[in-house]
Structure 1
Amino acid sequence: MIKKIIISLCFIFFSFQLSAKTLEIEMLNKLGKEKMVYSVKVAKIDVDDKIIWKSVSKGHNVEFIGMPKGVKKFKTKINKDAEFIFKKKGVYLYQCTPHKAMGMIGLVIVGNDKSNLDKIKKVKLYGKSKKIFKKLLKEL
């Protein structure tokens, strides 16, 4: 009986692990005609999915500046790859700290839950990020 329970629990655990996905986003100095950008501007993922930000070009990082209640601050070191597993549904707004005024921002929508979007809209943005944020909102 115990053997059956252990096998069942292993099956559930591994099934859960297989369903989680990983998305890679590159931090770039240039993409087409755009400068200082993330390769994916709006990521739509599920709970327990992981995003890996790849430091392809030097001088970039990831800093969460708006996220669902209860999510801890997340700020990476410059020039370092980083990853985050999204455990909470909602909208996450992030920026490259050195290039925030140049519009290097991105959004993550987890579980198609936009219940905290009004809070995200109140986050103070700088320079070109204000205009880009308005464009990103249209993609939601």
Structure 2
Amino acid sequence: MKRTLIHTLTFLLVMGSAQALAEQHTVKMKNSGNDGSMVFEPGYLEASPGDTVKFVATDPAHNSVSEAVPEGAEDWSGSINEEITVTLSEEGVYVYKCVPHATLNMAGVISVGKSTNYDAAKAAVEKLSNAAAANQGRLTGYFDNVAKP
């Protein structure tokens, strides 16, 4: 009984410590920023498994929707003007966009640990970039920061 209690308390302490180490990142959805018009800021982010990203509607008429996520991770789809918090549960590359401004290449990349889904993420970046009428090269520039597996 005593040994089980010690193991349980140790487990809870370790789990609590892991959650305390998780970081919350903020990505602003903006009409204009350092990388131009209709932009997520930052557009490229490095994080660790278990971290969260809070997408903040700094300017109106934006949302965040996943375009590619690693296997085992959950897709997300925020409504227009909605702040949404996403947990980065798996290692890999997360590619996301603003639906109303996707043609303006309002999209971003999050790299979490090893780029386990590099090829799928690259294909998503190419698809979004090829469909964009403005801000050419911005999203591929973000993706260039991702380490090849």
TM above 0.5: yes
2:45 is equivalent to residue 43 of structure 1: yes
Match of 2:77 in 1: 75
* Contact 2:73/2:88, CA 8 A, preserved across alignment: no
Task: Structure 1: state its 5+ residue gaps.
Answer: none
SS at match of 1:8: helix
Task: Write out per-residue CA displacement over residues 59-94 of structure 1, whole angstroms, 9 at most, x where no aligned residue.
Answer: 000111111123333111010100011111101110
Q: Are residues 26 and 33 of structure 1, via their aligned partners in 2, closer, same or farther at CA, if it must alter by over 3 Å? A: closer
Q: After the TM superposition, which residues 1-140 of structure 1 pair with which residues of structure 2 at under 5 Å, given as runs? A: 1=2, 2-32=4-34, 34-111=36-113, 113-123=114-124, 124-125=127-128, 126-127=131-132, 128=134, 131-140=137-146
SS at match of 2:137: helix
SS at match of 1:73: coil
Residue identity opposite 1:139 in structure 2: N
Task: Write out per-residue CA displacement over residues 29-63 of structure 1, whole angstroms, 9 at most, x where no aligned residue.
Answer: 11147111111111110100000011111000011
Distance 1:73 1:29 in 2: 24
Task: Structure 2: state its 5+ residue gaps.
Answer: none
Distance 2:35 2:15 in 1: 44
* Contact 1:52/1:81, CA 8 A, preserved across alignment: yes
Q: Are residues 40 and 65 of structure 1, via their aligned partners in 2, closer, same or farther at CA, if it must alter by over 3 Å? A: same
Distance 1:45 1:101 in 2: 27
Q: Deviation above 3 Å: which 4+ runs of structure 1?
A: none
Distance 1:76 1:121 in 2: 23
Residue identity opposite 1:81 in structure 2: E
> TM (normalized to structure 1)?
0.90
Task: Provide the alpha-carbon RMSD of the alignment.
Answer: 1.7
**Aligned residues with identical type, % of pairs:** 22
Distance 1:64 1:129 in 2: 19
